[in-house]
Amino acid sequence: MANIEIIQPEDATGELKEIYDGLLRSRGKIAEVHKIQSLNPKSIVNHMDLYMTIMFGQSPLKRVHREMMAVVVSKANECEYCQVHHLEAVRNFWKDIEKTSRLKSDYTTAGLTKEELALCDYAWNLTRNPGESLAKEYSNDLRKVGFTDRAILDATLVVSYFNFVNRIVLSLGVELENDPGGYKYE
């Protein structure tokens, strides 16, 4: 159960109702991670702007790569909510239940390409060891498999964003919806 008050869509008025209605139109559903911010409606808008830029904006990283990294960061942080949500997105792209299950349990056993494995290693290492002097080495590992500096920036944004969201979810007690799938993934 959430640790703070949440204004549900049926009780929303004014700006919050408009924001909720917009989420329904653009994403197909309203996630609990957005409802948890209902006491500060503008934060939902800013959050969605950041999310859409990082996860759906133009990037040398494929959408599935960004979703895959979201799962790995969330696994490293033990954030079940985000693991489930973003695993659904990966499953939408891969169409392979077994491979996505392996991604969640241990990404090193998921049969990833060397590029995908490098991105997952980057997500895991940067999440688990953010202050270590190995950050340059992590970036160099991505370069070795062909990622550009722009791709490294975008990968870092994905990792940073999910560490941010995992903290919101975990600290405020955001609960997983009964049906976490069904969003617009592309």
Q: What is the pLDDT of residue 180?
A: 64
77 and 127 fall within a common domain: yes
What is the predicted pLDDT for the residue at 184?
55
Q: Is 125 within the bounds of a domain? A: yes
Same domain (yes/no): 158, 114: yes
Task: Quickly count: other Cβ atoms within 10 Å of residue 115's Cβ.
Answer: 16
pLDDT tier, 137 (very low <50, low <70, confident <90, very high otherwise): confident
Domain housing 86: 63-172
pLDDT above 60: residue 183:
no
Query: Do residues 131 and 101 both lie within one domain?
Result: yes
pLDDT at position 185 over 70? no
Residue 77 scores a pLDDT above 70: yes
What average pLDDT does range 16-25 have in this prediction?
Answer: 94
Give the pLDDT band (50/70/90) at residue 138. confident
Q: 71 pLDDT band (50/70/90 cuts)?
A: very high
What pLDDT is stored for residue 72 in this prediction? 98
Single residue among 56, 71, 89 that ends a domain in this structure: 56
**What count of Cα atoms within 13 Å lies in the side-chain half-sphere of residue 154?**
21
Are residues 59 and 49 in contact, defined by beta-carbon separation less than 8 angstroms? Answer: no
CA distance 126 to 132: 9
Instruction: Give the C-alpha separation, 80 to 74, whole Å.
Output: 7
Confirm whether 37 is domain-assigned: yes
- Examine the domain organization and report whether 104 and 132 are in the same domain: yes
73 and 52 together in one domain? no
Cβ-contact 6, 35 below 8 angstroms: yes
Q: Are residues 93 and 160 in the same domain?
A: yes
Amino acid in the structure at residue 39: L
Is 2 among the domain residues? no
Average pLDDT of the chain?
A: 92
**74 and 16 both lie in a single domain:** no
- Predicted local confidence at residue 104, as pLDDT: 94
Does 182 fall in a domain?
no
How many distinct structural domains can be found in the chain? 2
Phi (first) and psi of residue 68, to 5 degrees:
-60, -45
